[in-house]
Chain A
């Protein structure tokens, strides 16, 4: 299969060969040949965003909800620099993306030409890998290699910078099957003897816990199914990180809820008191561990991760297994069955007894109100009214994100799209657009804050153009609530610049974007308003006016251990909880 074509045609052809149905992008001088090639075919649909950051987040939402590689196309200079936040977001959350950037012609590189920037230099630190294509001969190989690098191993964003003369040049196209990489070979099979050792430790454990993360989602739906099977075989409790929500069903009694800074009391206490921690595809993030020298002091730790650099990075483990969660889980199950292992039923009974005591604290509880909509209540109602539908949730960043994580429940993987590692305000709306592109008939809701939504509000115009019925559900507390909460905790309640002043009228703003606007400030009318949002066949902005100074609890204050959580029934002064040293942490 070798055909002559231009570089621009190769890019489109390679997309077709990689099964790319959608590309999110924004045109400019340095990518015009590629736009021309796109114009002349119908199998790859281009979605015109309104800002390149939006293109990348859309591709992230698309990728995370579908398991495919998200594809982005932007021009040189400002097009590329606008994409940087999205690329960094995808790097931190391990999202597979391929981003094509236009570049000035090769002979002008380095001359400060119009809209020139050192794209590979700028994106080196925010991509898994990047390429500058200087010769047409290299282009097809590089594109297929880029898709391979993006989706295998620990997934991540890959940039391909293509100078304009290379787009015009003619060369021989080669297909994906003729590509093999020289040095990049991710390890997917875990070491058999280590897996055997790990499973033996599991059979002997008295207070075990599965600490599961985004790696299970990365490993595909099969990995989620295997996790369920292993949990059933062993009867062990399971907790999930923010990135791992949905890999294990929230409605399963073995699930302890999310763990970490805003996780449940039972999940964090189980992590603290366990004698065996089995980390499956999670990376001991600082939102999870809290104070490291007090992190789960009495446990043996098993860590399964496809990226060798994740193992022993911050927390030293007893058994590190490098491999894909799917393969390792399957092998763990096989060994458990082969050896006819039985969990220590007596010990587990006692362990569950303790866990149930922690559960009884009802750490996600809150005091509801008849006059004001409590944000937690709004999410609860949103969940209740959408749970029987084909629903996908994205979020912005802040308190609303945490409340969504706590009070919306996910029983399947790929239903929850959030910016975890970078915490990018402005992620949710473009991500929702990407999700909706991948799942045309689904109900896609961006749970937003009134501050975050303004960061990529322009993407409403994209939703309107493509008739994407995304719903933006704003928990409007008129504060950058998460910032306000930290100011209350750390800075004596001096709310420096965290009040959302001069907000737009979101209902009118919706109308300006050809969408429907709904406002609600009355708990009694909330259900009807949510129903109206769901029933409307186009995009909606829902301005849900909620209690303004509600804090997001429970919370492990920075610098504290898992067993030092602030629970909702806390009656002291929240500003007195954190010591001087903890205040320096983020």
Chain B
């Protein structure tokens, strides 16, 4: 398609990319990162942050984002030029383990109550989810797993009586002996 600016994003394939960003844990650093995304119009699908090296005051931010390859490369370059950023690593380019934790509340089983309760528990077992709270008409499941598993679990629960979900967003780490 001919346009006045570069190819519209729709014409190119959109990928998901998981980035690990190592930053100085100083006030405002998260605002710098998230502000870069909003200011330049990029997506954040999930973002997790926590101080991982207390001595060095280093925090590790894991960002899942999506866009065209060119856009994702630009996101990496823009992140790298922020002054408190030590390192940006594209974990999707490495074989990486990615996990997220979800707390899933299921309730209001309606007229097929006992059937649905059984089904919910069966699914939880199948997904290796823990039952962390139960009442006569509700459960809370804790599920840790890859993004896709969490998505599938939540979709299945919707059919049964999903009330609420809380997700942490991805934590990710590259396989093998090597560190960042």
Interface residues of A (CB under 8 A from B): 120-121, 124-125, 128-129, 132, 134, 149, 154, 181-184, 291-293, 307-309, 311-314, 316, 558-559, 581-582, 585
Contacts and interface: CB of A to CB of B under 8 A. Distances in A.
Given A292-B5, A293-B3, A182 B86 contact: yes
Given A182-B24, A291-B4, A121 B78 contact: no
Contacts of B161: none
Nearest to A311: B77
Given A291-B4, A308-B77, A128 B28 contact: no
13 contacts: A121-B28, A129-B83, A132-B28, A154-B81, A182-B24, A183-B86, A184-B83, A293-B2, A309-B78, A309-B80, A309-B81, A312-B74, A558-B4
A580 to B, nearest CB: 11
Nearest to A310: B77
B78 A183 contact: no
A390 B129 CA distance: 78
Contacts of A124: 28, 31-32, 35
A293 B35 contact: no
B27 interface: yes
A558 B23 CA distance: 41
B4 A585 contact: yes
Contacts of B28: 120-121, 124, 132
Contacts of B6: 292-293, 314
A585 B83 CA distance: 33
- Interface of A: prevailing SS: loop
Given A183-B23, A559-B4, 9 more contacts: A124-B31, A125-B39, A182-B24, A183-B84, A293-B7, A309-B77, A309-B78, A313-B74, A581-B3
Contacts of B73: 312
A-B pairs, 10 with minimum CB distance:
A309-B77, A129-B83, A183-B86, A559-B4, A308-B77, A184-B83, A292-B6, A309-B78, A291-B4, A309-B81
**What size tier do the contact residues of chain B reach?**
20 to 34
A209 B74 CA distance: 26
Given A312-B70, A312-B74, A307 B81 contact: yes
B24 to A, nearest CB: 6
Given A125-B35, A132-B27, A182-B86, A308 B80 contact: yes
A154 B74 CA distance: 16
Contacts of B162: none
A88 to B, nearest CB: 12
B32 A183 contact: no
A124 B26 CA distance: 14
Contacts of A312: 70, 73-74
B85 interface: yes
Interface string B22-64: 0110011001100100010000000000000000000000000
A316 B70 contact: yes
Contacts of A181: 83
Nearest to A128: B83
A121 B31 contact: yes
Contacts of B83: 128-129, 149, 181, 183-184
A174 to B, nearest CB: 19
A291 B5 CA distance: 6
A293 B2 CA distance: 7
A554 to B, nearest CB: 19
Nearest to B75: A309
A125 B82 CA distance: 11
A457 B27 CA distance: 39
Contacts of A120: 28
Nearest to B79: A309
Contacts of B3: 293, 581
Nearest to A146: B83
Contact of A183 (B7, B24, B35): B24
A585 B5 CA distance: 10
A559 B2 CA distance: 11
Looking at B27, B28, B81, which has the most chain A CB atoms within 10 Å of its CB? B81
A559 B77 CA distance: 28
A468 B10 CA distance: 56
Contacts of A293: 2-4, 6-7
Looking at A128, A307, A308, A558, which has the most chain B CB atoms within 10 Å of its CB? A308
A391 B123 CA distance: 80
Contacts of B84: 183
B16 to A, nearest CB: 20
A411 B52 CA distance: 54
A149 B2 CA distance: 41
Contacts of B24: 182-183
A183 B4 contact: no
Nearest to B2: A293
Contacts of A582: 4
Nearest to B56: A182
Interface string B99-138: 0000000000000000000000000000000000000000
A308 B81 contact: yes
A579 to B, nearest CB: 9
Contacts of B74: 309, 312-313
Interface in B1-19: 2-7
Contacts of A132: 27-28
Nearest to A560: B4
A308 B73 CA distance: 10
A166 B4 CA distance: 52
B53 to A, nearest CB: 12
Nearest to A125: B39
Contacts of A311: 77
A292 B4 contact: yes
A465 to B, nearest CB: 36
Contacts of B78: 309
Contacts of A292: 4-6
Looking at A121, A149, A184, which has the most chain B CB atoms within 10 Å of its CB? A184
Contacts of B77: 308-309, 311, 313
Nearest to B57: A182
A134 B83 CA distance: 19
A316 B27 CA distance: 36
Nearest to B86: A183
A484 B162 CA distance: 60
A312 B80 CA distance: 15
B35 to A, nearest CB: 6
A291 B3 CA distance: 8
Contacts of B80: 308-309
Nearest to B74: A313
B80 to A, nearest CB: 6
Looking at B4, B28, B74, which has the most chain A CB atoms within 10 Å of its CB? B4
Contacts of A585: 4
Nearest to B77: A309
